[in-house]
A and B are shown apart, each in its own frame.
Chain A
Amino acid sequence: MSEYLSILIFILIGTGIVLFTFLLSRLIRPHNPYHAKNLNYECAEEPVGNSWFQFNNRFYIFALIFVIFDVEVIFLFPWAVAFGQLGLFALVEMVIFILILFFGIFYAWKKGALKWV
């Protein structure tokens, strides 16, 4: 348990240092905002239109595929750790598991879902 406690201390001190530098900088830096300075950067022009646009949902598809294969990787971790004790049977099981998912990525590939235009 003490191992996790030191991580907690680490997080607290890390956050503390960040906050401290922010505070220090706030105390000594100039503060002089005006309208033109507070505009978004857009090549020194007045920003055109709303920057909060909707975007290609291909990003979403990739995130979905990522979630699926992230779960697969997570299953691999305990398998890899206990591999020495589990032996051939576990290898066969994992090969089946991976082949099924490999079929998935192959299918997505052939159907063009992994194609980035």
Chain B
Amino acid sequence: MLEMVLITLIKVLVVVVAVLTGCAYSTYMERKVLGRLQNRIGPSYAGPFGLLQPLADGLKLIFKEDIVPSNVERITFALAPMIAFIPALLSFAVIPFSSDFELFGYHITGMLSDLNIGILFIFAVTSLGVYGIVLAGWSSGSKYSLLGGLRATAQMISYEVAYGLSIIGVILIANTLSMRELVAIQEGITNWIIWKQPFGFLLYITAAIAETNRAPFDLPEAESELVAGYHTEYSSMRFSMFFIGEYANMLAVASVGTTLFFGGWNGPFLPPVLWFVIKVVAFMFCYIWLRATFPRLRYDQLMNFGWKVLFPLALLNTMVTAAWVML
């Protein structure tokens, strides 16, 4: 019992540290890739190739003064960054990073927690992600924050339905909610669910980008009209919690997408963990590529697209998949 708790504890620490490092280097990757796509070179001063840039950013943020405007709702203002960050982190509890392996004579599973309702857990955690944003917007006492928070909430709930429906297609094929079994049935590149659900994947990535408030759906922080949206009034570590939370959400979407559609850690020759990381990085690259390519939508276009295009298409995809599985 004690051994098991200790192993879990170490695994949790490894995962948390890995996710936080991943978030830090996602910002680096985003700036570097975006720079290249815009004919710049991106960060290049801190360390070789600017590799120490995330560290420098983190240090800077820790040393910054935490400005709390005098008319905020103090308790909710302080809680909101935590509420935004923790659900983002929680998704990683059920994602299989690697196959099982033996280490020092112990059998170690490649995931933190093999829930038999893994996908439902992720869906539940995603649905809680709204609160950090709406509370930040509400408690800041700033017009930009409130508008940004409202927009973000309406956007996230509008795309959450399509997000859930795009997952249903995968479950119809796999007949399981367990992430481990999902990876198990996708052994070998021909068994990846993406080949059976190409349309479902497009729905998933569209809804997921809108869920994480990323370009071209980054209306909540449209800087030309809302300054910085819901985190306008945040500074120092509280701001960085929102920032890390956003990147953790992106990584979570990439990891879930990898597990649902691209066979998770399955792959030849290289160790499973490495395959997982490669797939997630490729996913993140697409995220950044999309940001560099597409202009931001207008808000009415966004809502219309979510309810009148994405949602009916997702329902249709579910029905067609069900009929196809039946045959």
Could you tell me the dominant secondary structure of chain A's interface residues?
helix
**Contact bitstring A23-60, B, C-beta under 8 A = 1, else 0:** 01110111111010111111000010001110100010
Which residues of A42-91 are within 8 A (CB) of B?
A: 42, 47, 51-53, 55, 59, 62-63, 65-66, 69-70, 72-74, 76-77, 80-84, 87-88, 91
Which of B65, B232, B312, B326 has a CB less than 8 Å from the CB of A30?
B65
- Contact: A18 with B82, CB < 8 Å? yes
| B76: Cβ under 8 A from any A Cβ | no
Query: Quick check: is B172 within 8 A (CB to CB) of the other chain?
Result: yes
User: Which B184-238 residues sit within 8 Å CB-CB of chain A?
Assistant: 227, 232-233, 236-238
CB-contact partner of B172 in A41, A69, A83, A87, under 8 A = A83
Does B290 touch A at the CB level, under 8 Å?
no
The size bracket of the interface on B is 35 or more
Interface segment, one of B43-51, B139-147, B254-262, B267-275: B139-147
Complex Cα distance, B62 from A14, in Å, reads 18
A10 at the interface (CB under 8 A from B): yes
Contacts between chains A and B (CB distance < 8 A), count:
196
Q: Given contacts A3-B114, A21-B62, A28-B63, are A41 and B168 in contact (CB under 8 A)? A: no
| Closest partner residue, chain B, to A90 (CB atom) | B322
Are B157 and A63 in contact, with the CB atoms below 8 A?
Answer: yes
Instruction: State whether the Cβ of B292 lies closer than 8 Å to any Cβ in chain A.
Output: no
Query: How far, in whole Å, are A41 and B11 apart by their CA atoms in the complex?
Result: 42
**B residues engaging A (CB < 8 A)?**
4-5, 8-9, 11-13, 15-16, 20, 61-71, 81-82, 85-86, 89-90, 93-94, 112-115, 120, 127, 140-146, 150, 153-154, 157-158, 160-161, 164-165, 168, 171-172, 175-177, 227, 232-233, 236-238, 241, 299-300, 303-304, 307-308, 311-312, 315, 318-319, 322-323, 325-326
The 4 closest A-B pairs by CB, nearest first: A73-B164, A80-B171, A116-B300, A25-B237
